[in-house]
Structure 1
Amino acid sequence: MSSQTDDTSPNGRAVRPRGRLRATVVAALALAFVAAAVGFVGFLSQLRGVEADPPHDADGIVVLTGGSSRVSDAMELLAAGYGKRLLISGVHPTNDAGDISRSVPDSRGLMSCCVDLDHSAVNTRSNAAGTRRWVRARGFKSLIVVTSNYHMPRAIVELSHAMPDVSLIPFAVVGDKWRDEPWWTSGATFRLLLSEYAKYVAAEVRVRLADVGLDLTSDLGEPAAAPHRPTTAQAN
């Protein structure tokens, strides 16, 4: 009487490969979860919990609209002499300097002399493109970046990719809600951070792939293409 091993039996052939496949998938998902969790912790470690004055002046200041008190904080930096001019990037198409002056009291004098508006931005990537055009037109070599603390990592990724030759100085705006309660106690804040982390990772991957593509082109002896430059944004 002949006997069959598990590997050669019909059940063995069907079950064992499936079991190995299932174990592989579970292990891959577990590793992906751990990597995402570690990355999220690293992302959170970049977020400032308090506002701090820039360490030194810069040629210009750019504020990316989309969060409370960003514009007013940028105006205060301009008034304090931290930059020569201010770019407000991502202004709604229907808003003008008068609307901003009404929303930010004591800014009328600055609005008329030292502030530029960019209405073209629709996301962070386009913020970077519009800022790059403004910086090049002004001949600036350093820039204070004003945006919310949770948005700053992605903003720096996009801006540094668009302007690798410009020194960027982050000024992270910390909202009242962030100060008043820990982020992990608020479902809305936690969801915001998860969403922003996903966008940050996507931006990092896209930028790195673009850089690798440029390097490969150069290695092949072909002229390196200029990095893709985004356009300015309103919904960050």
Structure 2
Amino acid sequence: MNLGLRYRKERPFKKWGIGILILFLFSLMIWLAGLFWFVHNVPETPTYNPLKTDSIIVLTGGSGRLEVGLDLLSKGYANYLFISGVARGVDVKELLKLVSRKPNEFACCIAIGYRADNTAGNAIETSIWMSKSQLKSLRLVTANYHMPRSLLEFRRAMPKIQIVPHPVFPPQFKRKDWWQWPGTAELLASEFNKYIIAQFGLKNNLPTEKNKL
């Protein structure tokens, strides 16, 4: 009798365990499908829109972004450049020196934002600057893997502003056959999780990129 009672007690727990395992595997399959969809929407090759916008917005956090933004400004893609998420105490002249540009060449047309420390903050900071400057369109410069979430946050913060994406392609990011590159795969998985959080408008407490130009 004791064996039968013990069997009846263990059986419900076994069913619960199987149910949890099935739920976990199903959730994992959905997450993986979403990850592949997300990666598919990450730009792989440069396809730039030649449209001139009122401003160029550069998001700090990765190499090459500021250089691309300055090149676009010098080529007349916009009249103003706003750099969001700059470390406090760093001014325009210092930024230009970091990328070997002459301060007098661009100083008049560049503005800096110091408040943002994540992508949602970038969008809000840019929205305030755009509103004060009475500008209606922007060209968004950030890394290709960061572009989907950036567009989501910027369109949410500025629904009436025309946004032209201009992705930067970091050399260390391996978009093709990304699953074969552990660093790229980890970065994409992290970015996809942040994208999910942003979709629901939740606060993102996941690790962020260090501000570096």
Q: TM-score, normalised by structure 2?
A: 0.87
> How far off its partner does 1:179 sit?
5.7
Q: Partner residue of 2:38?
A: 43
> How far off its partner does 1:181 sit?
7.3
Q: Does 1:189 align with 2:187?
A: no
DSSP-derived class of the 2:100 partner = coil
Q: Partner residue of 1:14?
A: 9
DSSP-derived class of the 1:83 partner = coil
The 5-angstrom pairing of residues 1-236 of structure 1 reads 10-178=5-173, 182-206=177-201, 235=210
Q: Contact between 2:141 and 2:168, CA under 8 Å: does it hold in 1?
A: yes
DSSP-derived class of the 2:77 partner = coil
Partners of 2:133 and 2:85 lie apart in 1 by 19
- 1:110/1:145 CA distance change after superposition, 3 Å: farther
User: One-letter code of the match for 2:8?
Assistant: R
Partners of 2:122 and 2:105 lie apart in 1 by 22
What 5-or-longer segments of structure 1 have no aligned partner?
4-8, 211-232
Partners of 1:202 and 1:84 lie apart in 2 by 34
Partners of 1:180 and 1:154 lie apart in 2 by 17
> How far off its partner does 1:72 sit?
0.5
Q: Contact between 2:174 and 2:181, CA under 8 Å: does it hold in 1?
A: no
- 1:110/1:31 CA distance change after superposition, 3 Å: farther
Q: Contact between 1:59 and 1:143, CA under 8 Å: does it hold in 2?
A: yes
When Rg is computed on C-alpha atoms for both structures, the one with the higher figure is: 1
Partners of 1:153 and 1:107 lie apart in 2 by 33
Partners of 1:92 and 1:165 lie apart in 2 by 29
What 5-or-longer segments of structure 2 have no aligned partner?
none
> How far off its partner does 1:23 sit?
2.1
User: One-letter code of the match for 2:47?
Assistant: A
DSSP-derived class of the 1:40 partner = helix
DSSP-derived class of the 1:153 partner = helix
User: One-letter code of the match for 1:142?
Assistant: S
Partners of 1:160 and 1:120 lie apart in 2 by 19
Partners of 1:13 and 1:234 lie apart in 2 by 52
Q: TM-score, normalised by structure 1?
A: 0.79
User: One-letter code of the match for 1:112?
Assistant: A
Q: Contact between 1:90 and 1:122, CA under 8 Å: does it hold in 2?
A: yes
User: One-letter code of the match for 1:111?
Assistant: F
DSSP-derived class of the 1:177 partner = coil
Partners of 1:148 and 1:85 lie apart in 2 by 20
User: One-letter code of the match for 1:125?
Assistant: A
